[in-house]
């Protein structure tokens, strides 16, 4: 296919070419893969500045999206690649092949750098979904940091740089610039820009930015960062957000309220404990969805109200393909038991969905979050169970609401009234404000810079 680059795509490619360290915050649907690959082709095959590139991506994106993008565009002909996924034997074989670009899933970064005993001789790294390196305690972060000094160029791509607040940015930029802009130590960054928020005595649970901290952080990273929102550069179809309330009956609500208040509930003579707030939150979300796991991981049904609402929505779709996002396995099990649905897991599933062969599909946000193009298969998404993760929420929505979508996208949220579902929706909206502030602060102004 012939690549007719939009002005913003040309600008983003030029930014990567002229910045050895680049943070490129491209909102979903703007074509970050082809933008980056165009720059890689230039650096490797035209300018001969780079010899060997490591692309780090979520598993499905590494396995499906990057290879298909390389094969898709005419101007990338000649750019060779090797996909480093699968068993250790398969990964070693992939690394032994001669190629320009090696594509690995992020779960294997630690293996590659610290366990494989294969020399790390890449001179450029592309991190697809930089936000997956936001935890400075994760093995993948620590491993990549060890290898980072030998790399000449690095690009961090994401549409959700600070899904849980500005604290996320430190680790992301530590990997990119080795601490030049936000400091080498998380404690220094935290002390400089934040103050304790929620705490219990000496235990601090969260921090909030000091006055003026946001502007200062954005200023420090602005020289290596560009940000683009799809609404600024693409004419996307309308996206309709809809909430579908469901009401539990008195008996069901009494179980839910009793558990919330006492953190212990008797359901079918099975006692379920919530030893801390995180566990309680998870249990309440399960209960809002209609079932809950006991200590033996058995699923105990509570209500079918969300399944009833889902049935109404499926009927209302009048045969149009519908994508259903679930969170807990018992959600998937109950949906499969009641409806004729297919779970999107494999490359064949993705292909069949986009070909219009699947009337109703279920998908987990953690595996659907990044890079999957599902926009040609349908335009209706139903959130059966919600997630606290803004990143996964936005990325899952963007599987349908992206460039190439021809119809109005409708996103339904089935909300159990009077439950934690309502709190999750409020939290997602609050987090979105922080991220929007960051995106706007470093947004690329094409007219000024082009």
Q: What is the largest CA-CA distance in the chain?
A: 70
What percent of the chain lies above the pLDDT cut of 90?
Answer: 56
Q: How many CB atoms lie under 10 A from the CB of residue 406? A: 8
Question: Do 359 and 385 form a contact (C-beta atoms < 8 A)?
Answer: no
Cα separation, 383 vs 96, whole angstroms: 43
**Residue 305: half-sphere exposure toward Cβ, Cα within 13 Å:** 23
Q: CB 391: neighbour CB atoms within 10 A? A: 25
> What is the pLDDT at residue 98?
97
Residue 137: the pLDDT is 93
Residues of the chain with pLDDT under 70: 28-29, 163, 230-231, 234-235, 263-277, 368-371, 437-438, 441-450
Q: Tokens at residue 353, please?
A: 């969905």
Domain map (residue ranges) of the chain: 7-234+436-449, 235-248+303-417, 253-302
Fold agreement between 7-234+436-449 and 235-248+303-417:
yes
How confident is the model at residue 449, as a pLDDT?
A: 45
Q: Which residues contact 360 (CB under 8 A, 6 or more apart)?
A: 314, 321, 322, 324, 339, 340, 341, 342
395 closest CA partner among 163, 193, 223: 163
What pLDDT is stored for residue 138 in this prediction? 94
Strand-pair category, 299-301 with 360-363: unpaired
Per-residue pLDDT tens over the stretch 227-241: 877 667 766 778 888
CATH superfamily placement of domain 7-234+436-449: Tandem AAA-ATPase domain (3.40.50.10810)
pLDDT of residue 204: 80
CATH homologous superfamily of 235-248+303-417 equals P-loop containing nucleotide triphosphate hydrolases (3.40.50.300)
> Strand pairing of 322-325 and 360-363?
parallel
Distance between CA atoms of residues 446 and 228, nearest Å: 10
Residue 414 contacts residue 381 (beta carbons within 8 Å): no
Six-digit token string for 67: 């290879």
In the DSSP assignment, the letter for residue 107 is G
């Amino acid at each position: 296919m012939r690549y007719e680059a939009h002005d913003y795509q040309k600008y983003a490619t030029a930014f990567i070419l002229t910045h050895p360290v680049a943070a490129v915050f491209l909102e979903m649907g703007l074509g970050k893969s082809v933008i980056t690959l165009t720059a890689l082709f230039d650096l490797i095959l035209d300018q001969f500045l780079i010899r060997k590139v490591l692309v780090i991506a979520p598993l499905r994106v590494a396995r499906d999206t990057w290879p298909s993008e390389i094969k898709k565009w005419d101007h990338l002909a000649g750019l060779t690649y090797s996909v480093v996924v699968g068993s250790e034997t398969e990964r070693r074989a992939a690394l032994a092949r001669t190629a320009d670009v090696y594509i690995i899933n992020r779960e294997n970064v630690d293996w590659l750098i610290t366990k494989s005993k294969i020399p790390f001789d890449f001179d450029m790294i592309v991190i697809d979904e930089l936000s997956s390196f936001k935890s400075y305690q994760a093995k993948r972060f620590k491993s990549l940091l060890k290898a980072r000094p030998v790399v000449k160029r690095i690009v961090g791509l994401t549409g959700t740089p600070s899904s849980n607040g500005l604290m996320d940015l430190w680790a992301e930029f530590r990997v990119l610039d080795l601490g030049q802009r936000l400091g080498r130590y998380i404690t220094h960054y935290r002390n400089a820009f934040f103050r304790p928020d929620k705490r219990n005595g000496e235990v601090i649970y969260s921090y909030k930015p000091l006055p003026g901290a946001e502007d200062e952080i954005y200023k420090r990273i602005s020289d290596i960062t560009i940000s683009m929102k799809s609404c600024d550069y693409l004419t996307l179809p309308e996206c309709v957000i809809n909430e579908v309330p469901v009401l539990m009956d008195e008996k069901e609500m009494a179980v839910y309220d009793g558990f919330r208040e006492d953190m212990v509930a008797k359901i079918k003579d099975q006692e379920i404990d919530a030893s801390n707030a995180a566990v309680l939150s998870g249990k309440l979300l399960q209960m809002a969805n209609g079932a809950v796991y006991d200590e033996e991981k058995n699923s105990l049904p509570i209500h079918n109200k969300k399944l009833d609402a889902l049935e109404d929505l499926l009927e209302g779709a009048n045969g149009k393909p519908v994508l259903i996002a679930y969170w807990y396995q018992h959600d998937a099990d109950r949906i499969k038991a009641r409806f004729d649905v297919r779970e999107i897991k494999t490359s064949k599933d993705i292909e069949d969905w986009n070909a219009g062969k699947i009337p109703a599909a279920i998908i987990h946000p953690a595996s659907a979050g990044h890079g999957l193009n599902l926009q040609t298969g349908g335009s209706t998404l139903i959130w059966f169970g919600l997630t606290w993760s803004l990143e996964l929420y936005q990325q899952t929505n963007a599987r349908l609401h992206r460039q190439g979508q021809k119809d109005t996208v409708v996103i339904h949220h089935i909300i159990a009234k009077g439950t934690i579902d309502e709190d999750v929706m409020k939290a997602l909206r609050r987090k979105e404000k922080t991220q929007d502030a960051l995106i706007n602060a470093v947004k690329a102004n094409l007219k000024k810079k082009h």
